[in-house]
């Protein structure tokens, strides 16, 4: 028995010696160490993007991928089982009228056509209850979407839900009003089959609120959500832009100057009441609004603040700070016998740049950027990409810290896209695009907060480690 044990330990020793010898050879022959980037997420170009235009029938849709991408790529425009167009050239704006009775438009892009892909839809009506300019950025499917604006008692609000993924999605609609959270008899839970889209009248879930904040969140899958508000009494129509996720510091950019009403909506998503400090950032600087420095928002509810006499005359942005997370939006009403409405909302800084796919100027039409640097000074490059003809050279814009700057876009024959890119050394920049058209009876108006471009993705680092196979 003793001999057997000794033989086993001897065999184990030989195996250990052999392994050590192999390790020694591998160590001696390994390549020399090379410098590696510091641990952290790596920025890589986006390789695939899907954007949903919620209700494009009889509207114009603009689609563009900024120039600069290399390698193969393609963009497909799909409605139902029909392909409307295929695109394969960066820097070229596709801008067309969509046929009537079309469902949601799915813009799917891969390869070099994906990085920076942007799409937007615009509808123009000069008469009737839906008179106005109604524009919206085509959004990607996500797990949570916030929308802030008038409630069903003040507007006919329709929510558009689209599941563009190949798996079912379950969406839950949470509504907050001035009186607190709204509990719907139906539960506000919807199951969407792969490729299914659905419209929901918010008055069926919450008929009484004058103002509201809506969260569309999914417990399974992803959903693209958008909301269109037709104001009661013929007071205009527009889409509610997606609001930035709840935070204790919110910037609401793109508030146009001029006459008319400016109404701020602030929703508290926490479990305790909060006081929100409101400051205006204008071309003249930053200041607290006299008599409107603070707004009290009860827990789980929405509060409003009339800023018409505070910021109505100047282009501006709003800086909101609170102790608990909030979401915010703002309604802008124009002037004239027949008024129109536009909406902006809390937004993220455009650290990766921003693209707006649909702009117009000339023939009583105006498009302008409102750029805000709430902290350090900002500096950006603005590139105009027309639908036809040569693109002019980009131009640079400096934004003084704690100020807002209005940039009128040049007159262009036809529709054009705009690319805004922060330059080295710039502080955080927020922005909005405002477009209007002078028609008989008053001004048509729409606004769009600048969203961060879909140009880059952050990929976690990958390193070699024996921890994957050894305890």
Residue-wise pLDDT tens digits, 42-66: 777 788 999 999 999 999 999 999 9
pLDDT of 21 above 60: no
What percent of the chain stands above pLDDT 70?
Answer: 87
Cβ(103)–Cβ(196) below 8 Å: no
CA distance 242 to 360: 22
Residue-wise pLDDT tens digits, 406-416: 999 999 999 99
Range of the domain at 198: 43-456
Residue-wise pLDDT tens digits, 354-385: 999 999 998 899 999 999 999 999 999 999 99
User: In this structure, what is the dihedral angle of CA atoms 421, 423, 426, 432, given to the nearest 10 degrees?
Assistant: -20
Mean pLDDT of 322-351: 95
Residue 356 located in a structural domain: yes
| Burial state string for 311-330 with b = 16 or more CB within 10 A and e = fewer than 16 | bbebbbbbbbebebbbbbbb
Mean pLDDT of 185-198: 89
CA distances from 251 to 243, 279, 404, 440 (A): 10, 10, 12, 34
* All residues at 6 or more sequence positions from 67 whose CB lies less than 8 Å from its CB, including other chains: 90, 91, 385
Residue-wise pLDDT tens digits, 257-270: 988 999 999 999 88
Residue-wise pLDDT tens digits, 117-158: 999 999 999 888 889 999 999 999 999 999 999 999 999 999
Residue 315 located in a structural domain: yes
Cβ(341)–Cβ(132) below 8 Å: yes
pTM of the model: 0.88
Residue 9 located in a structural domain: no
Residue 17 located in a structural domain: no
CA distance 131 to 235: 8
**Cα angle at 198 between 193 and 201, to 5 degrees?**
145
Residue 35 located in a structural domain: no
Number of domains in the chain: 1
pLDDT of 449 above 60: yes
| Burial state string for 52-86 with b = 16 or more CB within 10 A and e = fewer than 16 | bbbbbbebbbbbbbbeebeeebebebbbeeeebee
Residue 234 located in a structural domain: yes
Residue 23 located in a structural domain: no
Cβ(451)–Cβ(354) below 8 Å: yes
Percentages of the chain per state (helix, strand, coil), in multiples of 5: 10, 50, 40
Q: List the structure tokens of 241.
A: 């832009």
Cβ(194)–Cβ(185) below 8 Å: no
Mean pLDDT of 73-83: 93
Residue 334 located in a structural domain: yes
Q: Within the chain, how many helices (H) and strands (E) appear? A: 3, 35
């Amino acid at each position: 028995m003793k001999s057997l044990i000794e033989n086993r330990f001897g065999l184990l020793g030989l195996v250990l010696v052999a392994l050590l010898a192999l390790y020694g050879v591998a160590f001696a022959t390994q390549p020399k160490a090379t410098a590696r980037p510091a641990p952290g997420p790596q920025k890589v170009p986006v390789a695939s993007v899907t954007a949903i235009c919620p209700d494009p029938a009889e509207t114009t849709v603009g689609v563009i991928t900024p120039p600069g991408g290399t390698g193969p790529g393609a963009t497909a425009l799909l409605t139902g089982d029909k392909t409307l167009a295929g695109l394969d050239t960066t820097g070229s704006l596709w801008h067309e009228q969509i046929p009537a009775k079309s469902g949601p438009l799915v813009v799917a892009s891969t390869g070099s056509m994906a990085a920076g892909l942007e799409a937007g839809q615009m509808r123009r009506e000069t008469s009737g209850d839906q008179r106005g300019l109604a524009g919206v950025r085509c959004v990607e499917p996500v797990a949570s979407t916030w929308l802030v604006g008038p409630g069903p008692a003040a507007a006919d609000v329709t929510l558009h839900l689209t599941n563009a993924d190949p798996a079912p999605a379950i969406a839950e609609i949470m509504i907050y009003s001035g009186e607190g959270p709204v509990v719907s008899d139906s539960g506000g839970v919807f199951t969407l089959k792969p490729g299914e889209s659905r419209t929901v009248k918010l008055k069926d879930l919450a008929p009484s609120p004058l103002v509201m904040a809506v969260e569309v969140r999914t417990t399974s899958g992803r959903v693209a959500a958008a909301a269109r508000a037709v104001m009661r009494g013929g007071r205009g129509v527009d889409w509610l832009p997606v609001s930035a996720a709840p935070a204790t510091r919110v910037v609401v950019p793109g508030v146009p100057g001029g006459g008319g009403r400016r109404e701020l909506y602030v929703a508290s998503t926490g479990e305790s009441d909060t006081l929100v400090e409101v400051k205006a950032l204008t071309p003249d600087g930053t200041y607290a609004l006299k008599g409107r420095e603070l707004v009290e928002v009860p827990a789980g509810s929405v509060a409003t603040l009339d800023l018409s006499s505070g910021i109505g005359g100047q282009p501006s942005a709003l800086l909101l700070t609170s102790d608990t997370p909030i979401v915010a939006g703002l309604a802008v009403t124009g002037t004239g016998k027949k008024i129109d409405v536009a909406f902006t909302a809390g937004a993220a800084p455009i650290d990766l740049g921003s693209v707006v796919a649909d702009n117009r100027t000339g023939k009583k039409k105006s498009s302008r950027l409102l750029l805000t640097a709430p902290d350090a000074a900002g500096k950006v490059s603005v590139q105009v990409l027309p639908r036809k003809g040569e693109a002019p050279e980009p131009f640079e814009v400096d934004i003084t810290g704690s100020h807002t700057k209005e940039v009128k876009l040049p007159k262009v024959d036809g529709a054009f896209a705009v690319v805004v890119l922060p330059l080295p050394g710039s502080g955080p920049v927020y922005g909005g695009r405002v477009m209007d058209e002078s028609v008989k009876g008053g001004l048509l108006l729409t606004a769009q907060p600048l969203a961060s471009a879909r140009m880059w993705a952050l990929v976690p680092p990958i390193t070699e480690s024996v921890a994957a196979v050894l305890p």
